[in-house]
Structure 1
Amino acid sequence: MKVGLHGNSSQESIRVRNRLEKLLLDQHITIDNLEPDIVISVGGDGSLLGAFQKYRFQLDRVRFVGLHTGHLGFYTDWREYEINELVDSLVHDTAQKVEYPLLAGKIHFADDDSVADILALNESTVKKVSGTMVADVYLGGELFERFRGDGLSVSTPTGSTAYNKAIGGAVLHPRLEALQLAEMASINNQVFRTLGSPLVIASDETIRIVPEDSVNLMVMYDQQVVAERPVKEIEYHVAKEKIAFAEYRHNEFWHRVNESFIGRIED
């Protein structure tokens, strides 16, 4: 087995990563950050998003493990005091895994007709840096609505617990291979009218967003910002790829949601 280690630059994460590396080497587990079988992200959810983007072209052979060093993370199942147990799970690995859907997108640029492909674990957002955004939203190949407001967010089921939830979207179980389209502060009047509710989009449908103009327009996915260039349109759909987590002790989805947002309830 080859294990890759990924983490943020905080002193705590560096300390934990160094300790983990020593334990892995003591068990004769190879450290390989180029072509790993398993990637262990040390830090929080932000670190795991960074690890996902780093290894996005190796998803067919890589499984992820999250080890958090701060507050409880949604993607991070292990804590520092459980490192020995984690290493033992790696030693006795049987290739068990759980897979989650991802978001794929195509950004069509207006200045040279080029296209950028994106892949996201959480979400992609389209919004204006200043002022309101006006954009036509197409679903199933047909014009659905003309949006005016702060912006739009398209999220995966696991990403539905992140920014999507903060702007009033629903939480989707990852067994639902779907996307969610949620509005950011839409303006509804006699000129502009939107549904005003989050939409769950089936796996065989495409979301197409055509902005009225690209002035101060920002397109983001996970923690990445698309270069400041005029955007003609953006298309989103459920990706053919999936992310795999090593299922040594991978917490069930609703348990993870409870731990992240509610916590212990007294009987």
Structure 2
Amino acid sequence: MKFAITSRGDQTSNALRMKMKNYLLDFDLVFDEAEPDIVISIGGDGTLLHAFHQYQHRLSETAFVGVHTGHLGFYADWVPSEVEKLVIELARTPFSVVEYPILETIVRHIDGGKESMYLSLNETTIKATEGSLVIDVEIKGQKFETFRGDGLCISTPSGSTAYNKSLGGAIIHPSIEAIQVAEMASINNRVFRTIGSPLILPGHHTLLLRPKEAVDLLVTVDHKTILHKDVKSIQCRVSDEKVRFARYRPFPFWNRVRDSFVGNDNRG
């Protein structure tokens, strides 16, 4: 099996990366950063987001596993004290794979030039460069509303516990094929009105966002921010691709949610 290891870059994570690399080489696994079968992410959720984007061109061939060296992460199943156990599992046990939906975003421009396509593991957000975002929201080819406010967040089920949650969005189990649209500080008064609630769209529904006039927009794709000029439309839907995680033991999603947001004192 071919493997690669990404690190958050701090001293602890780098030392753990070297330790795991040497262990796995001793077990005759092949270190291959170009075409790995499995990518081990050492750090936090941000480190795994970077790894996802580094290898998004081979999602059907590469699986991810996370080791967290900081706070508990949603994408990390292992802690540093379990590294030896993980190495043995990697070397001797065929891993099972869980696949989760991701978000596809396509940005098109007024001049009809080349469109830009992005994949998000957590979310895509859209904001105006100046003032309020004013944009028509279409769902499955029908106009739903005109949004006015700070911006919109379109998240995956995996990303529903991230920025989406801080906006009042629902937490969705990552096995569900859906995307979620959450508002950022919408303008609601006697003249302007939005739904005011997060929307959960199934996999066969497409979201299309059309600015009321040619504007420059800031589009974030997970941790990256891209400026797009003279945007005609932004299309969002559940991607045909999926992210693959290597599982060597069960780690139920709702346990992660509880441990991250509720704590251990409400189990009785």
In the other structure, the counterpart of 1:60 is 60
| Distance change in 2, residues 1:250/1:128 (3 Å) | farther
Q: Distance in 1 between matches of 2:227 and 2:201?
A: 27
Q: Does 1:116 align with 2:129?
A: no
Give 4+ residue runs of structure 1 displaced > 3 Å after superposition. 213-216
Q: Aligned pairs, how many?
A: 267
Look up the equivalent residue of 1:196 and give its one-letter code: G
- Report the CA distance between 1:24 and its aligned residue: 1.2
Conserved? CA contact 1:77–1:250, under 8 Å: no
Q: Residue 183 of structure 1 aligns to which amino acid in structure 2?
A: E
Deviations 1:48-91 (A, max 9, x none): 00100111111111110011111111101111111001101101
Whether 2:130 is the aligned partner of 1:133: answer no
What secondary structure does 1:78 align onto? coil
Instruction: Provide the rounded CA distance (Å) in 1 between the counterparts of 2:117 and 2:214.
Output: 18
Structure 1 residues 141 and 40, CA, compared in 2 at 3 Å: closer, same or farther? Answer: same
1:13 Cα deviation (Å)? Answer: 1.6
Corresponding residue for residue 201 of structure 1: 201
The letter for the 2-side match of 1:220 is T
How far apart are the structure 1 equivalents of 2:71 and 2:95?
A: 28
Shift of 1:95: 3.6
Go from structure 1 to structure 2 and tell me whether the alpha carbon gap of 1:109 and 1:19 turns closer, same or farther (over 3 Å shift).
Answer: same
Deviations 1:100-131 (A, max 9, x none): 11111111123453201111110100012442
2:178 is aligned with 1:171: no
The corresponding residue for 1:154 is 154
Q: Which residue of 1 aligns with 2:12?
A: 12
How far is 1:216 from its partner?
A: 5.1
Ranges in structure 2 where 5+ consecutive residues have no aligned partner: none
- Within 5 A, what are the aligned runs for 1:72-83? 72-83=72-83
Relative to structure 2, which stretch is displaced further, 146-155 or 222-231? 222-231
Which AA in structure 2 matches 1:147?
F
Query: Which residue of 1 is the match for residue 225 of structure 2?
Result: 225
SS of alignment partner, residue 33 of structure 2 = coil
Q: Distance in 1 between matches of 2:38 and 2:26?
A: 17
| Residue 94 (structure 1) shift | 1.6
SS in 2 for 1:34: coil
Q: Which residue of 2 aligns with 1:106?
A: 106
Whole-Å separation in 2 of the counterparts to 1:151 and 1:12: 37
Q: Using structure 2 for the length normalisation, give the TM-score.
A: 0.95
CA distance in 1, matches of 2:222, 2:67: 19
Which residue number in structure 2 is paired with residue 25 of structure 1? 25
Counterparts in 2 of 1:227 and 1:218: CA distance versus 1, 3 Å: closer
User: d(CA) in 2 for partners of 1:229 and 1:25?
Assistant: 48
* Equivalent-residue separation in structure 2 for 1:99 and 1:263 (angstroms): 27
